Amino acid sequence: MTPRTARATLLVAALLTCLSAGFWLHALWLAGRPPAASPAPAPTRTADAMQEAFVSVAERVRPAVVHLGTVQVARSRVPPITPGPSDDPFFKEFFDQFFGRGQGPRGEFRTPGLGSGVIIDKRGYVLTNFHVVKGADAVTVRLSTKKEYPGRIVGSDPKTDLAVIRFIPDGEITVATLGNSDTLRVGEWAIAIGNPFGLDQTVTVGVISATGRSEVGIASYENFVQTDASINPGNSGGPLVNLRGEVIGINTAIVAAGQGIGFAIPANMVKRVTSQLLDRGKVVRGWLGIAMEPLTPELAQSLGLPGTAGAIVKRVYPGSPAAAAELRPNDVIVGFDGTAIEDYHQLQRLGAEAEVGRTVKLDVVRAKKRRTVELKIAEAPTDPTTSR
């Protein structure tokens, strides 16, 4: 081996030794590092985000939901049935079970009731259903902290089944925010919070099943939000909430014969009614001065109309705004101040919500001809058949 060949061989051997050492050092470095966390699958991240949204809403809104306990006192002229001279606890329990525990002094009977409500103002104003507090002689407001306060009915509106209660808080309270129910879409998530069967602070989840439901037979002015979130006795007056934590409705009724069919009063109707109850103690509604009936396919055909959109004037009350506007029976109202009328329920709501004294334009079809009339909204009388 020549000196040049020997040097080349030594150089190659040294190079190979360095490369081998480098690979070993790299391997040892990688072995010492903790394994990199693999990213969570997309479905898992989505489920976690959804779960966190529901939990966040529950944590924010539940403290604003209250338990309402009511008592109705009735007096009986008939002397109460008593167990007799014996004070035996067995007989007392027997008579309590079969004749009720609500008997007070001198034939006074107390009937308890329960429902839900939601705090909407730091001053202690609570929204609930009228039917929850109807006829109540006493109202107790119990917060999520279990503190109880006497409540007072500030105002109520049987026609929409809404009422406002007030208690005087002695500290900070959580207030819920009313959202915009006009932007609701079918399929959106809905969360119901309340006290079904006295089970306080119960949260159930569903979706918006429908909007604008009427002919449910619960109230005079119906425009309900339908949901399949579980609603049971005791939920009445509690909030229906969206994923932003906004109250989009006040739970009011269920279809007893079905499952997953509940109804809530939309938040925008609640706002209008509540503002008047707080300002005036009552609700002032607009009045057109007509009795209406639905436009059936048969009536539409006989009147020469292409469809059933609109409301038929069944009667015009004397001295009413409709009489002044010269509306007639069998006129079909198809527009209210630029809004197309789908049915008579919608026209009834628009008229009731219109400001008293405002002049509106009605699109009317009479004898197959369309015309526009102006009508000045009046305040709705208690009984239109005997007014004016």
* Two structure tokens written together for 298: 């048969």
- Which residue matches tokens 């051997």? 13
> Cα angle vertex 372, ends 367, 374, to 5°?
125
153: β partners:
165
Pairing of strands 189-194, 202-213: antiparallel
Check 156, 157, 161, 345 and give the catalytic one. 161
Does residue 236 have an active-site annotation? yes
Check 156, 209, 230, 236 and give the catalytic one. 236
DSSP calls for 136-182? -SEEEEE-TTS-EEEEEEEEEETTTTEEEEE---SS-----EE--GG
Pairing of strands 108-121, 65-75: antiparallel
Does residue 56 have an active-site annotation? no
**How far is 189 from 123, CA to CA, in rounded Å?**
30
DSSP 304: T
Check 131, 200, 228, 230 and give the catalytic one. 131
- For residue 214, count other CB atoms closer than 10 A to its CB: 17
**How far is 328 from 240, CA to CA, in rounded Å?**
42
**How far is 58 from 350, CA to CA, in rounded Å?**
34
What value does the CA radius of gyration of the chain take, rounded to a whole number of Å?
Answer: 34
Does residue 131 have an active-site annotation? yes
| Phi, psi of 90, rounded to the nearest 5 degrees | -65, -45
CB 370 within 8 A of CB 364: yes
**How far is 294 from 313, CA to CA, in rounded Å?**
9
Catalytic positions: 131, 161, 236
